[in-house]
């Protein structure tokens, strides 16, 4: 299912729902991130954990895993959207944006902005009262990017790895 098309660098790119066949490209894109490379490269169990995760995401109507595809069919971007109902804020629904990636060679062309703007529109269509995301504390450039798009650094996040 195609969601949107974007023009950048003289070519047209398509934002669409991820498919099982995209997994190799998605994992490569995520592993290209210097902060995640060591933990994202498939090891002895291969792509199995990613297949299980993909199947769970794909089966959940509240999740949308996207692929940004180049004209030649390469996976060059991704993000995951999660619709989260809640009791806080008078029962407000939230849209969580996770794992936003654009291939390094395509950064600076406005694709990340276009993807986030599309996601915010999707959140409105879903009836969400707010859009939220997290960004690693070391990603200063990403923080500036999200602030330029109107996001505010409003919370401190905590994680407990299990």
Phi, psi angles (nearest 5°) of residue 89: 55, 45
CA 54 to chain centre: 13
For residue 161, what pLDDT is reported? 86
Q: Does 30 fall in a domain?
A: yes
Write the pLDDT tens digit of every residue in 13-49: 999 999 999 999 999 898 887 676 666 666 556 788 8
For residue 9, what pLDDT is reported? 84
Q: Does 159 fall in a domain?
A: no
Q: If the chain, 162 residues long, is cut into consecutive pieces of 10 residues, what is the mean pLDDT of each piece?
A: 89 96 92 71 73 96 97 96 95 96 92 97 96 91 94 89 88
Q: Does 162 fall in a domain?
A: no
Q: CATH number, domain at 53? A: 3.40.630.30
Q: Is the pTM of this model over 0.75?
A: yes
For residue 13, what pLDDT is reported? 95
Q: Does 74 fall in a domain?
A: yes
Q: Count how many domains the chain has.
A: 1
Longest dimension (CA), the chain: 47
Q: Does 154 fall in a domain?
A: no
Q: Does 114 fall in a domain?
A: yes
Q: Does 14 fall in a domain?
A: yes
* Domain containing residue 113: 2-148
77: left (phi over 0), alpha (psi -120 to 50) or beta: beta
CA 117 to chain centre: 12
Q: Does 131 fall in a domain?
A: yes
With b for 16 or more beta-carbon neighbours within 10 A and e for fewer, the 80-101 pattern comes to bbbbeeeeeeeeebbbbbebbb
């Amino acid at each position: 299912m195609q969601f949107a098309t974007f023009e950048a660098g003289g070519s047209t790119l398509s934002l669409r729902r991820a498919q099982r066949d995209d997994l190799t490209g998605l994992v490569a894109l995520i592993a290209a991130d210097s902060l995640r490379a060591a933990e994202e490269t498939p090891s002895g169990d291969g792509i199995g954990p990613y297949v299980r995760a993909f199947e769970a995401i794909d089966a959940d109507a509240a999740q949308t895993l996207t692929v940004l595809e180049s004209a030649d069919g390469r996976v060059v971007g991704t993000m995951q959207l999660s619709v989260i109902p809640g009791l806080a804020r008078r029962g407000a629904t939230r849209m969580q944006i996770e794992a936003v990636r654009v291939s390094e060679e395509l950064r600076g062309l406005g694709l990340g902005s276009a993807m986030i703007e599309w996601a915010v529109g999707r959140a409105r269509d879903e009836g969400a009262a707010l859009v939220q995301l997290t960004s690693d504390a070391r990603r200063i450039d990403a923080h500036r990017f999200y602030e330029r798009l109107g996001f505010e650094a409003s919370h401190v996040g905590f994680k407990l790895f299990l």
